[in-house]
Amino acid sequence: MTPRLLSPQKQSRMRRDPGTGRGSRHLAFTMILIAVVIAGVLPAFPVAGQAQTGEDARSLQVAPGTGSIEMHLAECPPGFDLAAGGNYFDDCHALAAADVEIALTSTAGFSDTRMSERVEENGPGVGIFESLAGGDYTIAVDWPVLPSDTFFSYCSEADSDLELAVTPIDAGTGQVTLGEGQRIVCDFYVAHDPRFASPLEISAFTCPAGAVPPSDSPAFSEFQTACTAPVPALDFHLIDATTGADIVETTNADGKVTFAFDGAAGADLYAAVPLEANEWMFCSTNEAEPAFLIFDEAGVTTLEPGEQRSLICSWFLIEEETAAAGASTRDSTPAQATESPAETPLGTPVATPPPATELAPAGDPDAPLARISSAVLTCPQGYDVNVEGDDYAAFDASCTEPLAEVGFTLTAPDGAVQRQVSGNQSAIGFDDLPPGTYTLHSDIPLEAASEYLFCAISEGGDRYQKEFDDRGVTTFANVEGEQLSCAWFVVPTSQRGEETGGSLQVDLAVCPAGYTGEQFFDDCHGNGVADQEFQLTGPAGELVGTTTVAQIPGPGTVTFTALKAGQYTLQGGPPGDFGTVELVCTLPPTDQPFAVSFENSIATFSLGENQDVLCVWYFIGEDSRGEIPPTPSVTPEPARSEILVTLYACPPATDGSGTYGGATQDAY
């Protein structure tokens, strides 16, 4: 079926001239009516002077199975900037995104797809779904999504100015409610950041051991022939040279992954595989013969600066010959050292290793299994290590409050990952650990707190301080049977430099229409909304900020800084007439509840001196019946989970192959 294009979509909130477009729709309806008269079927409609009952009117308006959803897909031009006055309809609507799959599903079991088609020379890509019953529909557009893309959707009735709420789910996906007999037109737009116009496509493969002859300059054809098994679920890291951001993308089931980056500036790239891994990479532009890229001693290869261009790469991992489990394939010397108080101990210095009964002989196949346990405690707000001290005695005396709901990740020598979350008693414990070197880190954001760790080889033994690298990771080297007992102290801190005053971060997320659940963070937090204004009024007057979505999935975020202490009111986000708001405010990093009164879509609170507050604004649209659902009780979710960035420090490699840290991202 060839799509028919309705008159230009009227977007009263987005168009500079909202009156344009109405006449053509009315004219179209008039022509249809004339055709009906000529065909002699006019008696099916009420005529002038003929009484029309309420039942007749309702039957025309809500005839089941006569609704439709017409999709318009458009791709904004290079350089489009909404913040600089850009307009989605005026600047993008005429630029069709054709040959894009549109999937439509409903909660009642409806499912169908269309491919968008260019119907007019200066118009969008169009896909039409007809004969639809009323209900909630999910629209999923299969855009070729890049990490830097921005998406916008807008729906309205086909013959009126009535805007309809679209609940975003993720990139190119949203939910809309269709009334019986209703005709809807939806515009979906995608805008590309011109700074990230260079797509990078990587295909990852493994090679059997010995399949590729050793060489300093191997031929791409040798790998292409011998290495055909794709590598799924592998993390690649791209360090953008412009922003310094670490962009992580994971290969799909076919071993493929796509990045977008600033080709003019270049980037660094590495894969999350063991440092001793035997990896090779070839890249080409414009289907030229692939060129061999060199990995440095840290396992990083550099994409040199150049013009904006597409880059197609093949990454190969050559499997090693059978080696002892957990042993390095590039270092056959067995490790003899075991976890001991190598860092400066506290109290009486320990001049010799712990008694032999606490350590198993290195390499002993019958070595007892180890345990690493720790209490997790937080220090009071304002705790200053330069005044109160940074030794175990000082922390033990002042920092006694258990810190619950903090995630910890332990990575084993083989890359296996264990996760634990501290409970109300704040203790964590990892049991039955085979011999080897382990790394451990928390989910606490680096910018939110400083961490101090003290351990003893056995319960009641002398405590020594463990060191963290600049990524917040501590290492337990060559553990063999020790029963390590630790205390993990968290000191809340601020790293805003010279900035003074308090701060307020607002995360805006949209829940599904009519949402009545209680898992707000799980069900709603990833549905961020951009370009929504919030007004914060306080001692310095009115401050206005607009939400931006930094990543998908993720919330729309706006931050107000350098705030004086005093009374504040906060309002904004989607109009309150179309739904309700569930507001959750906490004090990071401990997630202690922060008192806020909320009435008539306005939050009122008192901000203390240099106090930092995080508020999550969950918007719940009206359900399909137009009724406001009851407000559920909500448990505040940890703010750390959506802002955590964990980095890893790596030792130098012995040759030019391999990458950071020796494991996958999860393994760190």
**Positive or negative: CA dihedral 596, 600, 602, 605:** negative
Q: What's residue 544's pLDDT?
A: 92
Out of 300-304, 353-357, 431-435, 478-482, least confident range: 353-357
Give the helix/strand (H/E) hosting 203.
strand 198-207
Nearest to 467 by CA among 450, 484, 480, 482: 450
Q: Tens digits of per-residue pLDDT, 585-625?
A: 998 877 788 999 998 889 999 998 888 899 999 998 875 44
Q: Which domains does the chain have, with CATH numbers?
A: 22-192 (2.60.40.10), 195-318 (2.60.40.10), 356-492 (2.60.40.10), 502-637 (2.60.40.10)
> How far, rounded to the nearest angstrom, does the alpha carbon of residue 348 sit from its chain's CA centroid?
47
Q: Coil, strand, or helix at residue 41?
A: coil
Q: Tens digits of per-residue pLDDT, 147-173?
A: 567 888 889 988 777 888 888 887 788
Query: What residues contact 446, with CB distance under 8 A and at least 6 apart?
Result: 471, 472, 495, 645, 646, 647
Confidence grade of residue 16 (pLDDT, cut at 50, 70, 90): very low
Confidence grade of residue 645 (pLDDT, cut at 50, 70, 90): low
Query: Structure tokens of 656?
Result: 């030019």
DSSP state of 665: T
Burial label for 279, CB within 10 Å (0-12, 13-18, 19+), is buried
Ramachandran assignment for 242, one of left (phi > 0), alpha (psi -120 to 50 degrees), beta (any other): alpha
Q: What is the pTM of this model?
A: 0.32
Q: Tens digits of per-residue pLDDT, 534-547?
A: 999 998 889 999 99
> How far, rounded to the nearest angstrom, does the alpha carbon of residue 519 sit from its chain's CA centroid?
18
- For residue 225, the number of C-alpha atoms closer than 13 Å in the C-beta half-sphere is 8
Q: What's residue 308's pLDDT?
A: 52
- Tell me which residue has tokens 């180890």: 370
Q: What's residue 639's pLDDT?
A: 44
For residues 218-224, average pLDDT: 84
The stretches of 465-571 forming alpha helices (DSSP H) are: 520-524
pLDDT higher than threshold 90 for residue 185: yes
- Mean pLDDT, the chain, rounded, equals 74
Confidence grade of residue 337 (pLDDT, cut at 50, 70, 90): very low
Q: Tens digits of per-residue pLDDT, 44-73?
A: 333 333 434 444 433 344 567 789 999 999
Give the helix/strand (H/E) hosting 226.
helix 220-226
Contact between residue 235 and residue 273 where contact means Cβ atoms under 8 Å apart: no
Longest dimension (CA), the chain: 107
Out of 159-168, 377-386, 475-484, 566-575, least confident range: 159-168
Give the helix/strand (H/E) hosting 567.
strand 566-572
Query: What residues contact 203, with CB distance under 8 A and at least 6 apart?
Result: 230, 254, 255, 256, 313, 314, 315
Paired strand residues for 444: none
- Strongest mean pLDDT among 3-7, 431-435, 442-446: 431-435
Q: What's residue 624's pLDDT?
A: 43
Contact between residue 186 and residue 116 where contact means Cβ atoms under 8 Å apart: no
**Positive or negative: CA dihedral 56, 62, 65, 71:** positive
Query: What residues contact 269, with CB distance under 8 A and at least 6 apart?
Result: 200, 236, 237, 238, 239, 300, 301, 302, 303
Contact between residue 334 and residue 326 where contact means Cβ atoms under 8 Å apart: no
Q: Tens digits of per-residue pLDDT, 402-434?
A: 888 888 889 888 888 888 888 766 688 898 899
Q: What's residue 195's pLDDT?
A: 53
Confidence grade of residue 3 (pLDDT, cut at 50, 70, 90): very low
For residues 313-337, average pLDDT: 51
Q: What's residue 69's pLDDT?
A: 94
pLDDT higher than threshold 50 for residue 267: yes
Give the helix/strand (H/E) hosting 23.
helix 22-38
pLDDT higher than threshold 60 for residue 383: yes
596-605 burial: b if 16+ Cβ within 10 Å, else e:
bebeebebeb
Which of the two residues, 10 and 319, has the higher pLDDT score?
319
Nearest to 546 by CA among 521, 524, 572, 585: 572
Out of 412-416, 470-474, 645-649, least confident range: 645-649
The percent of residues in the chain predicted with pLDDT above 90, rounded, is: 23
Q: Tens digits of per-residue pLDDT, 65-107?
A: 789 999 999 988 877 878 788 888 999 999 988 889 999 999 8
For residues 381-391, average pLDDT: 87
For residues 471-492, average pLDDT: 88
DSSP string, 128-188: EEEEEPSEEEEEEE-----TT-EEEEEEEETTSS-EE--EEEETTEEEEEE-TT-EEEEEE
Q: What's residue 521's pLDDT?
A: 87
Nearest to 280 by CA among 335, 338, 319, 306: 319
The percent of residues in the chain predicted with pLDDT above 70, rounded, is: 71
The beta-strand segments (E) located in 390-434 are 401-402, 407-411, 417-421, 427-433
Confidence grade of residue 27 (pLDDT, cut at 50, 70, 90): very low
Q: Tens digits of per-residue pLDDT, 486-528?
A: 999 999 875 444 445 788 999 999 999 888 888 888 889 888 9
For residues 648-666, average pLDDT: 46
Q: Please state whether the peptide bond connecting residue 553 to the residue before it is cis, i.e. omega within 30 degrees of 0.
A: yes
- For residue 193, the number of C-alpha atoms closer than 13 Å in the C-beta half-sphere is 15
